[in-house]
Structures are given as C-alpha cells and as structure tokens.
Structure 1
C-alpha cells in the first residue's frame, strides 16, 4: 500500500473542452507531491475532481486501493482526504483557539449542538493547543483571528485542517499572495506537518516546490507532461518549453 492515492485516465470535459485529459497520478504515502504547470494547465480542476467538487467525465480515482470515483464530498472527507479551504478559518472575530476548537467539533459531529454551554467545549482546549503548537501559533491562542498576519492565517487554516485528522492533505496554493517572510514560514510549516502525513499540493512558487516536494507532476493543457523529482523535471526540455520565458528561468533558478 505504498500508493495512497491513484488516478487512472482521469478526464473532465466541459462542453467539448477537455480540462483534464487522461491523467494517471500516483501519490506515495508519506510524501509531499506537488502539482505544477502553467496557468490553465488543469491543476485546480484536478483538485476539484479528487475532492469530488466536480464529477469526472471518465476515469477512476482510488484511495487506499478503494474506488472512490462516485463518492460524495462528505464521504471523501470522512475517509481522510481533507482539502485546506474546506475547514478554513472563516471566523475572524473568534480567537485563534476557538477556530481550531470549531474544527475539532466538526470531527466529533457536535457542530450544531448550540444548546450546549460553552464550558462543554473546554475539554477540546488541550488538543486545540497541541495543534496550535504544531503550526507555531500557540502564543497567539487568545488573539482574535482578524489580527493575524496573512501568513499566520494560512497557518491557522492548516491547523484547522489537521484537526480533521487527515490521512491525505490537499493544499491549494498554500503560499499564494504572501511576502517572502510568510512564504518561508509556511514552507517550513508544511515540511514540519508532513512528518506523519501525505500532502498533495498545487503551488506556483518554484522555490517552495524545489525545497519540499519529493515528487512533482507537471500538467499542460490538462495532460501530464512530466513527473519525477525536481532536479529531473526542471531540466526536462518539454517542461521548460511549456513554462517559457521568465517562468522557465524561475524553474531553473529555483534548483
């Protein structure tokens, strides 16, 4: 069971336009696997297929050897495939601790027990603090979330995702829109939380990809163009041509 997630000829068409074209993907357990490619390559569509936000036109998705192609998003999440934005920190006026506690409630299935007194949730505080320590946010536990920097809000999203006990974490552009300091913080964080988990991520920042990804799959026009470790993929002539110009320079420069 080295392969935790596999797709076989995964395809998605939108009114004649092929967004994902017969993609074969194998994600090894315990690794960080990055999906990269130029704009319009099909990366986000591929993510949406894996989490069943959209339905494949054809092909298969297997998780731990089980065909999940036709399962609903809630079933996928219960199996342990959690996408970062699904449990994102969307409560800016709650404290950092309270946001993680809400995510822990979701895992317990008690999210809608509003009639329970707040003190009934205090039993979740220890686990919430453990998760905050894991993402280096424990000293901000009592801070209102809207006061966090953008990078630390993304770290909080990772903490709330971890609260769902994912077996496979899907991170969609985890460093998008960040300054250098926040990028380095979140890059370190992803590496840290990957210790006992599998991570599949879409990421544009080639410096991040080159630093932490074990395997890279390059998509172009919805199809798989290349796959392998960064050192190999970054020298692939087809990949360099696909990125072109400044992007290909960035691809080489991050090595």
Structure 2
C-alpha cells in the first residue's frame, strides 16, 4: 500500500535495515530527499553509506523497511524498472565504452530508452536527432573539444564528465551518484563539483561521499552515517560543528 505522496519529498527511506548473516550493516535509517536539492550521504569508512546507497538504488534488498519514490513503494522494484521511472544511478549502470568516441558513447546512451542499444532499422532522421541531442549533452558537460576522442583517451575527471553525460541521456529526474569525486585531484574535484551543481539545476541529486569537506559547498543537505545509523543531518554549517561528527571524522583527515 502506498502512502499519500508529499510533493516536497521525492525519495524516502523508512526504517531501512539490512542484515548480513546476523551483522546489522544498516539499522533503522529514515531518510528524506527533497525535490530539487543536492543531498549528500557521507560517513567515514565502514559507516554503511554504500549499503544504504545500494538499498536505495535496488542493488540490495532490505531486510526490513520501506523505500518510496514520489510516494510510490519501490521496495521490491527492480533497478531497471526504477531507472525507467526516472531514478537513475550513475557510475555503475552508465559505464562507458573505452574504445568508442565520446560522441558515440552518448549516442548509445540515448538509444537505451528505445529498448535496445542499436536500432539499425531506424530512419536516418531519427539518427540525426540523436546526434544533435548527443552534441547538446556533450556541450553541457564541457566535452565538446573531446567529442571525437575515445573514452580511453580522456583524463580521469573528463571520464567522470562523460559518465554524467551518459546518465543525463536517460533523462533522470533523480541522479544517484556513487562517489563521483573519488580519486580526483583538487582541480578535477572543483570542475566536477561545478558540473554536478550545474546539472542539478532542474533535477534532484543524491550522492555518496566519504569526504565531508568536498561536499561543503555542493550539497543542500548532508546526512552523516556511522555504524549503519544516522549520526547527524542538515546543512554543512550545522553538520560540520556537530561534536559527534567531529569525533567520527577525527584522525581520518576528512573533517
């Protein structure tokens, strides 16, 4: 049975719990992601953030609890089906093809909603439409000079930009980003963070991170996990001053 929808809340977890052979990895997590915001799910290593993310994106099934998308219960819905609803996970399902060009990668992604990656029988005008839309998406992520380069040739930060472009090709209402800033140098972090901010202008973003400082000026709301439970939640100004959060990050180099 679905609850009455709250238009302000687009994605919600209620009492979300995940056990692995008696070990409680996630315990009674209640999370509300507001429409049109960037919401970061963070925590030190072992905090349970990846497990929560995998539950929300349906790559894991909860032991107990409920997940709602736009008021609809999706707790038992398959990942492919929630993607069609507009809830799209990036950097996992949007893996790029290293030996295809940037343009070809985005065109393949645009063809996915049609039911198959390659429609050889489609009219030439349809393929031109995909080509034009692909160029628009490439421009949106600042990859126009790289359009003819293979994905394998791209520097690390630009590969992440390509992955965002292929995710945008699925026209998501909610983008779920799995550590989009991991492994980046300072310059790439700034550029990718700015890109995420830009593409979030007309959609909702939920991202997993372990580094509190890199989401400081990017996120509207930060949820901090520790040992599978929510430790604190709110804007960076509030969360970063929480004594329990400071303790959780003490000595990790991420506070």
TM-score (norm 1): 0.93
Any idea what the Cα deviations from partners look like across 1:164-200, whole Å, max 9, x if unmatched?
0111101011011111111111011001101001000
For these two proteins, the number of residue pairs brought into alignment is 249
How far off its partner does 1:122 sit? 3.2
| Structure with the higher helix share, 1 or 2 | 1
Q: 214-223 or 71-80, which moves further after superposition?
A: 71-80
Q: 1:209 aligns with which of 215, 222, 234?
A: 215
How far off its partner does 1:116 sit? 6.2
Cα contact 1:175–1:205 (8 A) shared by 2: no
Aligned residue in 2 for 1:100: 106
Aligned residue in 1 for 2:191: 185
Cα contact 1:20–1:222 (8 A) shared by 2: yes
- Superposition CA RMSD, Å: 1.6
Any idea what the Cα deviations from partners look like across 1:73-98, whole Å, max 9, x if unmatched?
11111111111124434311111000
Uncovered stretches (5+) of structure 1, i.e. residues with no partner? none
Aligned residue in 2 for 1:61: 67
Q: 68-77 or 95-104, which moves further after superposition?
A: 68-77
Aligned residue in 1 for 2:128: 122
- The whole-number CA distance in structure 1 between the counterparts of 2:64 and 2:247 is 29
Structure 1 residues 88-237: aligned runs within 5 Å: 88-113=94-119, 121-237=127-243
- The 1:118/1:41 distance shift into structure 2, 3 A limit, reads farther
- The 1:246/1:205 distance shift into structure 2, 3 A limit, reads closer
Uncovered stretches (5+) of structure 2, i.e. residues with no partner? 1-6
- The whole-number CA distance in structure 1 between the counterparts of 2:93 and 2:111 is 11
How far off its partner does 1:18 sit? 0.6
Cα contact 1:173–1:202 (8 A) shared by 2: yes
TM-score (norm 2): 0.93
- The whole-number CA distance in structure 1 between the counterparts of 2:45 and 2:172 is 28
How far off its partner does 1:204 sit? 2.4
Aligned residue in 2 for 1:50: 56
- The whole-number CA distance in structure 2 between the counterparts of 1:215 and 1:138 is 32
Any idea what the Cα deviations from partners look like across 1:126-160, whole Å, max 9, x if unmatched?
11111111111122111111111010000000000
